[in-house]
Structure 1
Amino acid sequence: MFAANDDMAIGVLRALTEAGRRVPDDVSVVGFDDIPVAAYVSPPLTPARQPFDAVATGGLRLLVHAVERPHEDLPPAADHPVELVVRASTAPPPRRTPGRGRATSR
């Protein structure tokens, strides 16, 4: 399961635990942000990490451009790399039985 942010992913971890599902044995969970607490929940959350400073700086530049030059087109926004920080809330996908499409036990 991929959550929009780490806070939501932590909520998913709790809901799955309360529902009797095992993370990552039954379900892998990934968040987005890499907030400091993500490494310390149980199991430690796998997040997609983005460079917040660069994203904020780029957004501020676009805002200033829009305010100072309202009749000009905005320059394109920069693409910033996103890094997957693999921790214990994810596992490889289960093996499939040839021809059946069903997962086999590990």
Structure 2
Amino acid sequence: ALAAAGAPEPPAPEGDWSPASGYEAGRALAADPRVTAVFAANDDMAIGVLRALAEAGRAVPDDVSVVGMDDIPAAAYLSPPLTTIRQDFEAIARHGLALLAAEIEHSPGEPGGPGGPADLPAHLVVRRSTAPPAK
């Protein structure tokens, strides 16, 4: 989306899916006043980002919007409640099993093997950790 808008693409911090790695990434992001939104790879990392932003005095969502992924049960009870993407894990599991079965049933390179990515359902759950950017 940034490239399509002609905006510079900043380097994406890496993490290991834990709140601690989200916190470390969040500290670096909080130090950059140009950062107005963060999309974390999962809700646990978003929790770490929320803490780092709070410690740096960056208000969520007034200064920085934060979005997670997975809609863990605690997401609705954070302060502020976390905007997140809810995935259909049953559909993901069914798709993964279908890919595994296709791989087992077909030799490598044989027609009929696993295809490309599926259109798996996901739902944006908007809570109070996001807001339109300040003007």
> Is the TM-score greater than 0.5?
yes
CA–CA distance in structure 1, aligned partners of residues 107 and 44 of structure 2 = 36
Secondary structure of 2:59's counterpart equals coil
Higher relative contact order (CA 8 A, sep 6+): 1
User: Where does the alignment leave 5 or more consecutive residues of structure 1 unmatched?
Assistant: 95-102
Whether the 8 Å CA contact 1:30–1:46 is kept in 2: the answer is: yes
Equivalent position to 1:47, from 74, 84, 88 = 84
Q: Which has the larger radius of gyration?
A: 1
Match in the other structure for 1:97: none
Secondary structure of 2:65's counterpart equals coil
Match in the other structure for 1:100: none
How big is the alpha-carbon RMSD for the aligned residues of Structure 1 and Structure 2?
1.2
Q: Does the alignment pair 1:74 with 2:111?
A: no
- Displacement of 1:48: 1.1
Q: Which amino acid aligns with 1:70?
A: S
Deviations 1:52-95 (A, max 9, x none): 1101110111011102222333234421132110001001222x
Match in the other structure for 1:18: 55
- Displacement of 1:12: 0.3
Deviations 1:35-62 (A, max 9, x none): 1111111110000111111011101110
Whose strand fraction is larger, Structure 1's or Structure 2's?
A: 2
Match in the other structure for 2:67: 30
Stretch moving more, 60-69 or 24-33: 60-69
CA–CA distance in structure 2, aligned partners of residues 5 and 78 of structure 1 = 20
Q: Does the alignment pair 1:86 with 2:126?
A: yes
Match in the other structure for 1:6: 43
Whether the 8 Å CA contact 1:58–1:77 is kept in 2: the answer is: no
**4+ residue runs over 3 A deviation:** none
Aligned length: 95
